[in-house]
Amino acid sequence: MKLIVGLGNPGREYQNNRHNIGFLIVDYLIDEFNSSKISSKFKGELYKAGEYLFFKPMTFMNLSGESVRLVKDFYKIDNENIIMIHDDIDLAIGALKFKKGGSNGGHNGLKSVDKLIGNDYWRIRIGVGRPERKEQVVNYVLSDFKDNEFLCIKNNFENIKKSITDIKTASSKFSKKKC
C-alpha cells in the first residue's frame, strides 16, 4: 500500500493558497483514481483506490505530522511507500522536484512530519516561486495563486499522477520539469 499525502491547511479561506498545492493535487488524484472516502478520522480525510491511500491532514500545516503518523501506524506503512506532496518556494512556479529524505528546507509541515515519522519518505516538491523579501514569505505562501500561475502548475498534474506509480523512475524523468 502507498500513502500519498497532500500538505495544506483546512478551510475555504486557504483553499487556493500556494501553501495548499498539496491539497489541490491530492483532490485531483482522488478524482483521477476514482477514489472513495474511507475515513474522516486520523485527524484528516482519507481516500482509497486500489493500492493507494490519498490523505489530506486537517490539523493545519504546522501539525501535519500528527495525522500522518496516525495513518502510517494504523496501516503499517513503511516510509519508503509514503509520498508527501507540498509547495516549495525555492523552486520556480510550476517546477517539479522529486526527492527522498533530506532536509525539510524550513517547511513547517515537513518539520512536523520529520519529527514524528523521520525524513526518509518520498517528496514531490512543487515550485510556487518566492517573494522578493524574506519577511514576505508567510503572507506569500498564504496568498492565492494568480490565474496564470495556477494554469502553469496545473499543466504538471498529469506528470505528478504518472509519478506516483513509479516514483523512482519519475524522479529522474520529471524532476525540475517546468510548465
9: its cell numbers: 491547511
CA distance 111 to 4: 17
**Helix or strand holding residue 5 (H, E):** strand 2-6
C-alpha cell at 122: 518520498
The catalytic position among 2, 19, 56, 69 is 19
Question: Residue 132, class by beta-carbon neighbours within 10 Å (0-12 exposed, 13-18 middle, 19+ buried)?
Answer: exposed
Pairing label, strands 44-49, 2-6: unpaired
Give strand pairing partners of 75.
none
Q: Catalytic: 86?
A: no
Considering only the C-alpha atoms of the chain, give the largest distance between any 2 of them, rounded to a whole number of Å. 44
Contact, 98 vs 163, CB < 8 A? yes
Catalytic residues: 19
